[in-house]
Structure 1
Amino acid sequence: MINSCIGLNDLPDEILMIIFKKLNNIDILYSFYGANQRLNKIIHDPTFTSCLTFVEWSLDNFIDLLSCKTILNQFCFRILPEIHNKIKWLGLESSSMKHVLRAAHYPNLDSLGLYNIDEESIRCLFTDETLSSGIFKNQITTLVITINRNDDYFEMLSSVVNIYDYIFSVFTHLIVVALYESSYKDCVRLCFNDSLHPNIRSSTLLKLNIKVQCFNDCLYLLDGRFNQLHTFYVDLVRIRIPQEVENQGDLPNLKCFSLSSNYEIYDYDELVLPLLNRMSNLEQLGLYLLVYVNETFIDGNHLKKKIINGMPRLNQFTFYIRSSMYTGKAKESQCHIYSYPPLMEYYGDITNDFPGGLFEYVRVVSLNDEHPFEHEFFLRIQKSFPFMEQLTVINHKPQNRKQSYESNIDNQNLSVIEYFFLNTLDIINTHDDYIEEFLFDTKTYFQNNVYLQIHYESLKRVTHNFTRDATRVNSTKINKLYVYGGSKCSNSLQEYFPYAKIFH
């Protein structure tokens, strides 16, 4: 450290600032705190002290940068008490958040990120009367949270609504609330009964970014409980007509609205359009929907007549709408329209006619065609959706050019497709050729921790009863395996997928 400090001291302050700005603030403070007077002065600059995030994203979760007791003590007993009045944002992991928040008084702290929280950790945090009656109640205006998932679906729903109930009970001056997940795989949703959770309301909230379970939940959140809300981003699973459709009043304060869902909507005219008609003062609108229609596709003319003309103040409209129509004899036609640049998270039912392009925001993709998908098609898909996390393939036609690849012993013409972000792969409804497409390491490269959904008998055939070497490498990349139609987990299956938790 002495030699490195001497080297750094030879550089002017301007150069040191340029170098330090490229590094993590936490590393800067921990490494150079107390090194010498000059470096101490530089690292006390607001550039390095106003915003401190003590977590980092790795694979599929947030890691606590204060998990080491030595680092935690250095910050809590020395660094934070000295820079406490300069801190405006803290990003904290659940296991260390209470230690950091109690380490000092933060008079200028107004924004908080709480990561990997669950109902128990948030309850323990809020039982601290000093924090609840001080920082939380009077100072925090921006709150970003990520909630830990668990495998029990109904327990998860109950836990999420209780967490929100705690939050709006304790944080009484919130302006911005965002449910943030770096991975689509980890998204959790709010589903609540209004009468059981009356605390989920705020007269100060202006911006809400949330994921909910159904359309009813969306209507609840727009029933006046957030009467100052001007920005509302909502992603939901089910858009179905509720038993009682209420809350039909105008929403004059709403200026920015985004609605997205990756599940088919059959009641678009009855639900979505009436909701949009309540937003006459809207200035920004985002729609990312999959809609079933009876007679005509949703096109630019529909958007103008049914939506845009009713919003005279609208100046920004981003959308991705895939409308589908049954044409008889089990046939289906579809139309994709989207604004540019494309900002949606979903892109569904892609066929061989897909022209390609770059869709950097898309995380969830589905492929469905009655004509075979060749290897080159999957290469085009990966290049078009480089950050794809979830992929579903539906195709029962064998590949036409499979034999030409197999005859090329060295696979000289075969490019290995690299899926760096893929964490969920659904190939239940596919021909065996597509299982080989993904499990052959000469065709596909996975990062670790992939959730594979597949039919048991197909998997057994392709892996030659769990003995085939050609599919063994990618099988070790699977950390969760759902086998459809399998009666029980055999020893050979578990051995072939050594790191996978297997479900039936």
Structure 2
Amino acid sequence: MLYSLVNVNQRLDRVVLDPLNVQYLDFVTKPFNIRNLSIHAQIFHKMRENILPRIKDKVKKLTVDPISMKFILGVVRYSQLYSLSLIDYKPKILLQYFSNDTSLHLLMNRITHMNVEGFLDDNELLVEDELNIFAMILSFSRCLIDLTYRMHYSRKYFRMSSLIISNTCCLSNALTKLTIYVNIFDDCLYLLNVSLEYLSTLIIRINKIDLSSLSKKLFKLKYFTLTTPAHTRSYNEELVPLLCRMLNLEELTLCLSVVRNNSTYVDGDELYDDVLKYMPRLNKFTFNIHTYVSCYRSIDLPSNIDIRNSFIRRGCPSIDAWTDEKFILSRNNCHVYSLPYEFDDFLFMTNCFQGGRFDKVRKILIIEAMAIHSSNQLDIEIIEEEESSTEVEYEPATASKNSISRLSSDTTEKKTISSKSKRYCKFKKEWIKISKYASFLQECRSNSSLAYCCVCKSNFSIANGGKYLIDRHLEQGNHKRLAAIEAENKSRSMFDFIDPPSKLTSMVAAELTLVYHGVRHEHSYNSQSCTVDVSKKLFHDSTIAKNISCGRTKARELAVNVL
């Protein structure tokens, strides 16, 4: 729209070219408009000739794609630009720009934030091209502190190599935050151990976690995010030792699937003993951990309640968990995650899923034969699966209310209930009326054995204790801390500091309002006097209308000497 509003008139130019409106420019072409390349060329030509020279010193963030790049970059010098995003590139095309475009080199030498997002077909295994691109970014961008490098739509992520060690180890000292997709676990360790040792924030998605031999303590890393779309059998051998080396970590995010043989699930006690106790400065832990157990001998696996209690004992009450009720073909699954759920995918879902609220989820991966039922948010048909998994993408019907109901098999389940089956406590609405609970307790609509804390913004279990578990949650250190913060930051209405208006003040305000209205709309003083007389008859039960007096002389004095 920017090009169509410029040069209409001076007033519109001031609005359109205001620094607040042009400091961030996005020139990415929508996919459904690519066929109109000639029209886009005309638009970009007009932008280059008439607009960019006028706003070159106001632009701070710039986003371009292969279509718009040749029209936007190299035309003017963006003196205030600090962030550049290159979107929808193939590695070969991007490599040509980095190799031949000197204007891009000059621009990259000044920016501090860069985002490179492209796509790679599965039959394009251009590992060397990607390595060269990554090396060029680090060599040209000497001031770079925040880099995002992602290639989408590929089953083969970026693969690091010793080819670029000599080029990057002395040029990456300024880089403090990196977001990247890589192929194997060694690529992650390579970044941490060799070339990017000054990182404080690493957000990484790994295609496969396997064995490695690299090791080094990571004192400078403060924020670490690790996600992987595949199972890993190297959790204890590789991932746990890596996390234990991050001694000064303040925020940790994990999204992974662990495969184990003849062992138990990953629970709160194991996470604390193996990982969390080595991170004394950790103040935020966000996780989504799926455990797949393959067992050919009889072992006792913990229940949902046992898993939840293991996290509650370690001071993490804001979690939810679900497990398979029995072994199927000597296999079992457990899913445990922090609340609220912060990830955009939910992988390895089975028919033991109990439902919940998942506002950010955009992709699910379902295993085994099951169906999804939902009232109005989702509409996904039954998916039958034997050994392989099926990936389903969906968009929620509403942005504010996303929920996934529990999964059940497409055949009627026949459960044998023993005479000594365990009975669980259920939420009672009268608890909300109790004074010490009223400020935080709410009902969890998806599960009657859970309660919702509006202070912690999470569910917690009451299945095995009822009010006792509510009292225990009330005494949790995390709940007390959040409650204190909420009480401290709770805003008061401005009217709390203003005395209620007196009768005289209300009458004066009414008279001034009436006079201002008359002046604004060019009413005569006589007509205002008549309006007052009519108001007294119409609103005879109003104290203000009954006592107001605003004749011609008084109205004139208020208009001239007060207003």
Q: C-alpha deviations, 1:423-480, integer Å up to 9, x for none?
A: xxxxxxxxxx99xxxxxxxxxxxxxxxxxxxxxxxxxxxxxxxxxxxxxxxxxxxxxx
Question: Counterpart of 1:285 in structure 2: which amino acid?
Answer: L
Q: Identify which of 18, 36, 58 aligns with 1:86.
A: 58
Which protein has the bigger strand share?
1
Question: Counterpart of 1:160 in structure 2: which amino acid?
Answer: E
Q: Identify which of 92, 103, 112 aligns with 2:75.
A: 103
Q: Distance in 2 between matches of 1:57 and 1:205?
A: 31
CA shift for structure 1 position 188: 6.5
CA shift for structure 1 position 98: 3.0
Q: Is 1:277 the counterpart of 2:244 in the alignment?
A: yes
The answer for the alignment partner of 1:348 in structure 2 is 347
Q: Identify which of 183, 191, 198 aligns with 1:213.
A: 183
Q: Distance in 1 between matches of 2:35 and 2:201?
A: 30
Q: Distance in 1 between matches of 2:339 and 2:39?
A: 43
CA shift for structure 1 position 312: 0.8
The answer for the alignment partner of 2:114 in structure 1 is 143
CA contact (8 A) 1:241 1:271 kept: yes
Question: Counterpart of 2:68 in structure 1: which amino acid?
Answer: S
Q: Identify which of 83, 94, 98 aligns with 1:122.
A: 94
Q: Distance in 2 between matches of 1:381 and 1:270?
A: 44
Q: Distance in 1 between matches of 2:393 and 2:75?
A: 45
The answer for the alignment partner of 2:211 in structure 1 is 241
Q: Identify which of 234, 246, 250 aligns with 1:267.
A: 234
Q: Distance in 2 between matches of 1:324 and 1:289?
A: 11
Q: C-alpha deviations, 1:361-398, integer Å up to 9, x for none?
A: 334422223xx53xxx33349947x9x9xx985249xx
Q: Is 1:55 the counterpart of 2:28 in the alignment?
A: yes
TM-score between both structures, scaled by the size of structure 1:
0.65
Bigger mean CA offset, 120-129 vs 84-93 = 120-129
Question: Counterpart of 2:333 in structure 1: which amino acid?
Answer: Q
Q: Distance in 2 between matches of 1:64 and 1:232?
A: 39
What secondary structure, in the 3-state scheme, does the structure 2 residue paired with 1:297 have? coil
Q: Identify which of 371, 379, 390 aligns with 2:373.
A: 379
Q: Distance in 2 between matches of 1:360 and 1:158?
A: 39
CA contact (8 A) 1:367 1:393 kept: no
CA contact (8 A) 2:23 2:61 kept: yes
C-alpha distance 171-346 of structure 1, shift in aligned 2 (>3 A): same
CA contact (8 A) 1:126 1:132 kept: yes
Q: C-alpha deviations, 1:279-323, integer Å up to 9, x for none?
A: 010000001110023422111111222222111111110000011
CA contact (8 A) 1:176 1:205 kept: yes
C-alpha distance 36-186 of structure 1, shift in aligned 2 (>3 A): farther
* Structure 2 unaligned residues grouped into runs of 5+: 298-328, 397-409, 412-563
C-alpha distance 393-114 of structure 1, shift in aligned 2 (>3 A): farther
CA shift for structure 1 position 124: 3.3
Question: Counterpart of 2:226 in structure 1: which amino acid?
Answer: L
CA shift for structure 1 position 46: 1.7
Percent pairwise identity: 30
The answer for the alignment partner of 1:172 in structure 2 is 142
C-alpha distance 64-311 of structure 1, shift in aligned 2 (>3 A): farther
Bigger mean CA offset, 44-53 vs 160-169 = 160-169
Q: Distance in 2 between matches of 1:109 and 1:418?
A: 37
Question: Counterpart of 1:238 in structure 2: which amino acid?
Answer: K
What secondary structure, in the 3-state scheme, does the structure 2 residue paired with 1:75 have? helix
Q: Distance in 2 between matches of 1:304 and 1:274?
A: 13
After TM superposition, the structure 1 = structure 2 runs for residues 193-204 of structure 1, keeping only pairs within 5 Å, are: 193-195=161-163, 198-201=166-169, 202-204=172-174
What root-mean-square deviation, in Å, do the aligned CA atoms of Structure 1 and Structure 2 show?
3.2
Q: C-alpha deviations, 1:4-50, integer Å up to 9, x for none?
A: xxxxxxxxxxxxxxxxxxxxxxx1x2121111111111112122110
What secondary structure, in the 3-state scheme, does the structure 2 residue paired with 1:222 have? helix
CA contact (8 A) 1:118 1:147 kept: yes
Q: Is 1:154 the counterpart of 2:148 in the alignment?
A: no
CA shift for structure 1 position 180: 5.0
What secondary structure, in the 3-state scheme, does the structure 2 residue paired with 1:154 have? coil
C-alpha distance 67-317 of structure 1, shift in aligned 2 (>3 A): farther
Q: Is 1:289 the counterpart of 2:262 in the alignment?
A: no
Q: Identify which of 253, 272, 295 aligns with 1:304.
A: 272
CA contact (8 A) 1:33 1:40 kept: yes
What secondary structure, in the 3-state scheme, does the structure 1 residue paired with 2:132 have? helix
C-alpha distance 188-200 of structure 1, shift in aligned 2 (>3 A): farther
What secondary structure, in the 3-state scheme, does the structure 2 residue paired with 1:233 have? strand
C-alpha distance 67-231 of structure 1, shift in aligned 2 (>3 A): farther
CA contact (8 A) 2:28 2:68 kept: no
Q: Identify which of 13, 18, 26 aligns with 1:40.
A: 13
After TM superposition, the structure 1 = structure 2 runs for residues 396-435 of structure 1, keeping only pairs within 5 Å, are: 419-420=394-395
Q: Is 1:317 the counterpart of 2:317 in the alignment?
A: no
What secondary structure, in the 3-state scheme, does the structure 2 residue paired with 1:286 have? strand
Q: Distance in 2 between matches of 1:66 and 1:199?
A: 41
Q: Distance in 2 between matches of 1:186 and 1:65?
A: 27
Q: Distance in 2 between matches of 1:43 and 1:395?
A: 58
Q: Distance in 1 between matches of 2:34 and 2:274?
A: 43
Q: Distance in 2 between matches of 1:37 and 1:233?
A: 46
The answer for the alignment partner of 1:501 in structure 2 is none
The answer for the alignment partner of 2:49 in structure 1 is 77
Question: Counterpart of 2:251 in structure 1: which amino acid?
Answer: Q
C-alpha distance 188-107 of structure 1, shift in aligned 2 (>3 A): farther
Higher Rg? 2
Question: Counterpart of 1:252 in structure 2: which amino acid?
Answer: F
CA contact (8 A) 1:84 1:104 kept: yes
* Structure 1 unaligned residues grouped into runs of 5+: 1-26, 397-416, 422-432, 435-504
The answer for the alignment partner of 2:364 in structure 1 is 365
The answer for the alignment partner of 1:225 in structure 2 is 195
CA contact (8 A) 1:262 1:346 kept: no
4+ long deviations beyond 6 Å? 61-67
What secondary structure, in the 3-state scheme, does the structure 1 residue paired with 2:49 have? helix
